[in-house]
Structure 1
Amino acid sequence: MKTLAIFGGTGQTGKLVLETALKEGYKVKALVRSPKKVELANSKLEVIEGDVLSADDVIRTVENADVVLSLFGHVKGSPQWLQTNGTENIVEAMKEAGVKKIISLSGGGLPVPDKDKPKLADKMIRFIMKVAVPKILKDAVLHAAILRKSNLDWMIVRGPRLTNEKPKNEYRVGWVGVNASTKISRADLADFILKQIESDEFVHQMPFVSE
């Protein structure tokens, strides 16, 4: 089985991805700032204490991995360019280690102008983000630009409002406003992310996953 390098494995969605990856037999290297937040004990899990903004910590995490899952995001007090600078570190580490595939998690506020067809509700959400959290939205846009220029096999999984509802075990994969709704459970989003490890269907794309 493949070895996964996971960044953001203690977040609400990342935790589900990490747990399920181990259940499915993957080996996992998880970079976390606080190892106490990892409540799992598994022989296939290597917890690395560190920060995605430290190039050395990122290199240690990516070494000997087959696929990178970039699931980290902003929390209260995060640096302004967390996703941009963290992604730069990950891309450089991947190139150094010879790792080609990265799956990055972002939100529906990150636009794909040639494919998204936002409806009124989507436009309202994006407007609110531009007003309330413009720096986070700009950070997401810049992280996407870094991946596009990386020459790696990247994909960005975008999701709408995330819930803690039980998984429905079915979801739609489309674009904002196209075959899409405005929410999805974290469990179903985690399922989609894990399926992309073995699939190249959405390489160099930014699919929007929703109920």
Structure 2
Amino acid sequence: MMTLAIFGGTGLTGKLVLEKALKKGFKVKALVRNPDKLKINDSNLQIIQGDVLNLEDVQKTIESSDVVLSLFGHVKGSPKWLQSRGTENILEGMRQSKVEKIISLSGGGLPFPEKDEPKFPDKMIRFIMKVAVPKVLDDAVKHAEILKNSNLKWMIVRGPRLTNEQPKGKYRVGWVGVNASTKISRTDLADFIVKQIESDEFIFQMPFVSE
């Protein structure tokens, strides 16, 4: 069974992805800043204490893994370029360990002009993000550029407003403004992400997953 390197496994969505991956029988190496936030006892889980901005910690996590899941994001007090710098470290670790595939989690504000057809509400949301949380949006855009230029098999999973509602067990996979709604439960989004581990359907793309 494959080994996954997970970054951001203590987040609200990341933890659900990690739990689902373990249930499916994957081995998981999770880099976390605070191991106390991950109270999961599983023989297939290896917890590594460290920081995604520390290259040595990242390399240790990716070593001997098959696929990388990059699920970390900004929290209060995060450095401005957290996602892009962390992504650079992850890609360096992947090259050193010859790991080819990475799935990264981002938000619907990140554009994918190749497939998106944003409607007025979508444009308004992006405008609000530019005003309210410019560093998060700028960082997401830069991290996407880094992945596109990596020569590795990348996929960026985007979602709208994430809720803690009960999962519906089904969801739409489209693009911003195309076959999409304005929300999704974190559990359903986690389900989609785990399914991509063994699928290359959306490699080099940014699917938008919503209910």
Q: TM-score, normalised by structure 2?
A: 0.99
Structure 2 counterparts to residues 159-170 of structure 1, below 5 A:
159-170=159-170
Structure 2 counterparts to residues 187-198 of structure 1, below 5 A:
187-198=187-198
Separation of aligned partners in 2, 1:150 and 1:112: 17
1:114, distance to aligned residue in structure 2 (A): 2.5
* Alignment partner of 1:131 is 2:131: yes
The aligned counterpart of 1:28 is: 28
Structure 2 counterparts to residues 78-89 of structure 1, below 5 A:
78-89=78-89
| Cα root mean square deviation, aligned | 0.5
The aligned counterpart of 2:120 is: 120
Structure 1 residues not aligned, in runs of 5+: none
The aligned counterpart of 1:46 is: 46
Separation of aligned partners in 1, 2:82 and 2:162: 21
Separation of aligned partners in 2, 1:108 and 1:133: 13
The aligned counterpart of 2:141 is: 141
Deviating beyond 4 angstroms after TM superposition, the runs of 4 or more aligned structure 1 residues are: none
- Matched positions, count: 211
1:135, distance to aligned residue in structure 2 (A): 1.0
1:120, distance to aligned residue in structure 2 (A): 1.8
1:118, distance to aligned residue in structure 2 (A): 1.0
3-state SS of 2:156 partner: strand
3-state SS of 1:125 partner: helix
1:99, distance to aligned residue in structure 2 (A): 0.3
Separation of aligned partners in 1, 2:4 and 2:156: 16
3-state SS of 1:93 partner: helix
Q: TM-score, normalised by structure 1?
A: 0.99
The aligned counterpart of 1:185 is: 185
